[in-house]
């Protein structure tokens, strides 16, 4: 942030996280909800948010914070320790392994296609009068992890047969965004639906793995 200020950068767009909302029961998640720090990861992301907010108040540096919900799309690395659930499930199925649920699979997420996230970033870089603000980037819909896996299995024409493991400490059960403010201030619209984005993503992974084979 300080380097951006010294180099006279006009605006910084910060990749924040929906994990800031913790596991509070209020749905959908709105930017005005008080954050809940359930893990060191969340603490680090919120610290970044606070630096953005403070710099926008103290210096001639505009900042916009975007709280990404569950981003997915082609080219996510399934072998990364930070990999999202979709590439993990797809790679497991394509390699003949059973995907694993931590819990019963009924936890739900607001999955957002990477193309929609790119749109939000470009809008946040240029929208007037939004410095210092925070916005949700999502689709305003939630899908259970089990339903998501069923859709992946349908696309790949493979049986639905997950494994189950105990829930992980700090995991959020349900996540669902209110994107009203993002639409109003940034002009954001999630043009790629979850179903269309999922099909594109699964087909891209299938093609990539077939090439490697």
- What is the model's pLDDT at position 208? 80
Find, among 191, 202, 47, the residue nearest to 118 by Cα. 191
**How many domains does the chain divide into?**
1
Q: What is the mean pLDDT of residues 192-202?
A: 95
CATH of the domain at 24: 3.40.50.720
Cα(127)–Cα(122) distance, integer angstroms: 9
Q: Which of 46-50, 86-90, 206-210 has the lowest mean pLDDT?
A: 206-210
Q: What's the predicted TM-score (pTM) here?
A: 0.90
Residues spanned by the domain of 193 = 2-212
**Per-residue pLDDT at 205:** 87
What confidence tens digit (pLDDT) does each residue in 68-124 have?
999 999 988 777 766 678 888 998 998 899 999 988 989 999 999 999 999 999 999
- Phi first, then psi: give them for residue 50, nearest 5 degrees: -65, -40
Cα–Cα nearest to 88, from 165, 141, 179: 165
pLDDT tens-digit series, residues 1-47: 999 999 999 999 999 999 999 888 889 999 999 999 988 999 999 99
Residue-level pLDDT at 210: 67
**In 3D, which of 7, 4, 14 has the Cα closest to residue 132?**
14
Q: How far apart are the C-alpha atoms of 72 and 111, rounded to whole Å?
A: 7
Give catalytic residue positions: 41
């Amino acid at each position: 942030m300080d380097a951006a200020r010294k180099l006279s950068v006009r605006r910084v767009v910060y990749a924040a996280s929906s994990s800031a909302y913790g596991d509070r029961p209020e749905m959908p998640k709105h930017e005005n909800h008080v954050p809940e720090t359930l893990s060191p990861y969340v603490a680090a992301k919120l610290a970044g948010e606070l630096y953005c907010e403070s710099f926008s108040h103290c210096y001639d540096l505009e900042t916009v914070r975007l709280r990404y919900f569950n981003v997915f799309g082609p080219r996510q690395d399934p072998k990364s320790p930070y990999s999202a659930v979709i590439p993990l499930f797809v790679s497991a199925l394509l390699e003949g392994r059973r995907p694993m649920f931590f819990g019963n699979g009924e936890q739900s997420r607001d999955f957002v296609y990477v193309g929609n996230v790119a749109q939000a970033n470009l809008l946040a870089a240029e929208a007037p009068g939004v410095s210092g603000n925070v916005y949700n980037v999502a689709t305003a819909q939630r899908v259970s992890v089990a339903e998501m896996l069923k859709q992946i299995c349908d696309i790949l024409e493979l049986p639905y047969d997950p494994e189950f493991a105990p829930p992980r400490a700090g995991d959020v059960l349900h996540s669902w965004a209110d994107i009203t403010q993002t639409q109003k201030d940034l002009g954001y619209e999630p043009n790629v639906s979850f179903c269309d984005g999922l099909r594109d993503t699964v087909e891209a992974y299938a093609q990539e793995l077939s090439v490697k084979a």
